[in-house]
Amino acid sequence: MPEVDRPNRARARAAVLAGSAALASPTGALAHALDAHAAPAISLPWSFEPWVVVCLALSAGLYALGVARLWRHAGRGRGLGAAQLAAFSAGWLVIVAALVSPLDALGESLFSAHMIQHELLMMAAAPLLVLGRPIAAWAWALPFAWRRAAGRFFHAAAWRVPWSIVTSALVAWLLHALALWLWHVPALFDAALADDTVHAFQHAAFLGTALLFWWSVLGASTRQQKGVALLSLFTTMVHTGALGALLTLSSTPWYQSYVATAPRFGLDALQDQQLGGLVMWIPAGLVYIGCGVWLAARWMAAPALRTELATGR
């Protein structure tokens, strides 16, 4: 990296410290960075993109209706329990924070904010939604005749075969990895910032492939599947960490769209990119490690449980 003057060195140190603070709270780290540079008052409105608002409203409304119908039919807490309801609600709120709150507007000016937005979608919203089992709830929201027709369709080979393919560990891993690396190619990333339609496709690709990835990981039931899920988590942590490291250690900014906007917040484009890279590199890696530890504990506990049942202990 070329030699910089004393104020720039101070700003760089502040950016690195803010990135380290992201271990506990990415959004808090960004706020710390902005406060440290006494950023001027800039309007950061809430975003109410119609397609986002409609999707959020429909998903929440259908989930609530489906749970109410299921509990009325089977009994409160049966089929979908309080844990699933809480997981879906938390995932839904994370999407609101990522796509509706002022973070969305801030992401247009700061790469680090944009990175926090993406990590919220992929590392928080996606696994929470998978745990919330929304498909089951949405199915119960349909009229009885529609629900029967949907059940026949989803049990037919025309659906089951392609679904089993895209949710298999290898394919889900590959689709998610491709989405991550391709959308961080500078030309594609800048194109997303320049065009709202492309930007929508970028977010859909991140969230959609993350849902498939976490479905393959969290849905592992057999011992073999859990072993594969652990491998999938580990390798994803490695390649996403590598991308974060490349962004952090680069000596030049990758994305020209932020060259003019980042200085308004006291960071040049390279420092902003380094902060965003740290967000991807460290906090996201901790999520993979935490999930891996939980999955490994379940993996190792299964044989012990079977032994206890067999011996009657």
Do the Cβ atoms of 191 and 198 come closer than 8 Å?
yes
Q: How many domains are contained in the chain? A: 1
Element containing residue 250 per DSSP (H, E): none
Q: What percent of the chain has pLDDT over 90?
A: 67
The candidate with the shortest Cα–Cα distance to 37, out of 277, 264, 279, is 264
Q: Is residue 130 part of a domain?
A: yes
Q: Is residue 136 part of a domain?
A: yes
Please determine, for residue 8, whether its predicted confidence score (pLDDT) is greater than 50: no
Q: Is residue 30 part of a domain?
A: yes
User: What would the mean pLDDT of 75-103 be, rounded to a whole number?
Assistant: 95
Confidence of residue 159 (pLDDT cuts 50, 70, 90): confident
- Using the structure block, give the residue that is written with the tokens 């904010």: 113
Q: What percent of the chain has pLDDT over 70?
A: 83
Q: Is residue 1 part of a domain?
A: no
pLDDT for 204-229, tens place per residue? 999 999 999 999 999 888 888 888 99
pLDDT for 22-56, tens place per residue? 434 444 445 444 554 444 567 789 999 999 999 99
Confidence of residue 144 (pLDDT cuts 50, 70, 90): confident
User: What would the mean pLDDT of 265-273 be, rounded to a whole number?
Assistant: 95
Q: Report the predicted TM-score, pTM, of the whole model to 2 decimal places.
A: 0.82
pLDDT for res 290: 92
Confidence of residue 152 (pLDDT cuts 50, 70, 90): confident
Q: Is residue 173 part of a domain?
A: yes
Structural domain span for residue 101: 6-311
Q: Is residue 56 part of a domain?
A: yes
Do the Cβ atoms of 102 and 46 come closer than 8 Å?
yes
- Using the structure block, give the residue that is written with the tokens 């011992």: 223
Q: For the beta carbon of residue 310, count every other beta carbon within 10 angstroms.
A: 8
For 25, residues 6+ apart whose C-beta sits below 8 A from its C-beta are: none
Q: Is residue 177 part of a domain?
A: yes
Q: What are phi and psi of 39, to 5 degrees?
A: -65, 145
Q: How far is CA 135 from the centre of its chain?
A: 19
Do the Cβ atoms of 49 and 309 come closer than 8 Å?
no
The DSSP result for 256-311, as a single string, is: GGGTTTGGGGT--HHHHHHHHHHHHHTHHHHHHHHHHHHHHHHHHHHHHHHHHHHH
Q: Is residue 203 part of a domain?
A: yes
